[in-house]
Amino acid sequence: MSFEFVDDAFQLLTPGLYTGDPLEIRINYQIRCSGVLCFTGWMTRIEGKIGGFPISNPPDRIEYGRYGGGENVLLKAPGKMSDKDIGAELTFCAQIGLSPLGARIPIATKKILIPNLSEIVPLACVIDADCPSGYRCVGGVCIPAVTCIEGETQCRGTDLYICKNGKFELYEENSKKCGYTPPDEEEKIVNWIEKYKWVIIGASVAVIIGVIVFIVARK
């Protein structure tokens, strides 16, 4: 069983830091697992510092299969910074098995330079237009537009999507909430008969012919 950090999947979603207390950033990351034991369960974890402060909410994630990691993962560190540019050092670890006492194996370390968010994005907003491109206004604060609020819904055509773990997932196809009007049951029957009328007629003729042949044969 071995692990590999997928560099192409790593992405810093927040182009700057929220300078309040705590500091916050959001990332995407992915770790690849090799070996048959991958399907019995393993764990991923992020450790490190943001702006010199240790991450206060290192997420332990239980994984099954070849790939693990997360999208739109929120990392926090206690502290408030006023520098224009702040460094962050994140170490991505993996663990064989699901025991909380298992040893974590460092897979990769990412050192990134994060601009101070207050120099780029106004923290306070009223509408989306108050935020720069790539951001939207939620709860009076500019957040990355790639995120969504847990439980938020969105219509795409007649399909209803719901926000789970920072991204929209299909919740209901042909939802009435998205303007879908189901055909009347009677209309369904009519449409079905119209669609298969030649099959019905053919089957009926076959039955009649079969009855006639049976009667003639008995005579």
Which H or E run contains 185?
helix 185-195
Token pair, residue 132, equals 């720069």
Residue 147 pLDDT more than 70? no
b/e 187-212 (16+ beta carbons within 10 angstroms → b): eeeeeeeeeeeeeeeeeeeeeeeeee
DSSP characters over 125-143: -SSGGGS-TTEEEETTEEE
Task: List beta partners, residue 161.
Answer: 154, 170
Span 91-112, average pLDDT: 85
* Domain edges within the chain: 2-115, 186-218
Q: Are 145 and 135 in contact (CB under 8 A)?
A: yes
- Distance from C-alpha of 97 to C-alpha of 35, rounded to nearest angstrom: 13
Q: Which CATH number fits domain 2-115: 1.10.10, 3.40.50, 1.10.3470, 2.60.40?
A: 2.60.40
* Residue 200 parent element (H or E): helix 197-218
Buried b vs exposed e over 38-72: b needs ≥16 C-beta within 10 Å?
A: beeebbbbbebbbbebebeeeeeeebeeeebbbbb
CA distance 103 to 3: 14
Task: Dump pLDDT digits (tens) for 173-186.
Answer: 888 888 877 766 55
Lowest mean pLDDT among 25-39, 95-109, 147-161, 198-212: 198-212
CB-CB contact of 43 with 31 (8 Å): no
**Residue reference for tokens 């560190």:** 77
Nearest residue to 96 via CA among 31, 9, 10, 29 = 31
Model pTM above 0.85: no
- pLDDT classification of 82: cutoffs 50, 70, 90: low
Give the pLDDT band of residue 132 (cuts 50, 70, 90): low
Nearest to 19 by CA among 81, 75, 77: 81
Closest CA to 50 of 28, 71, 72, 20: 20
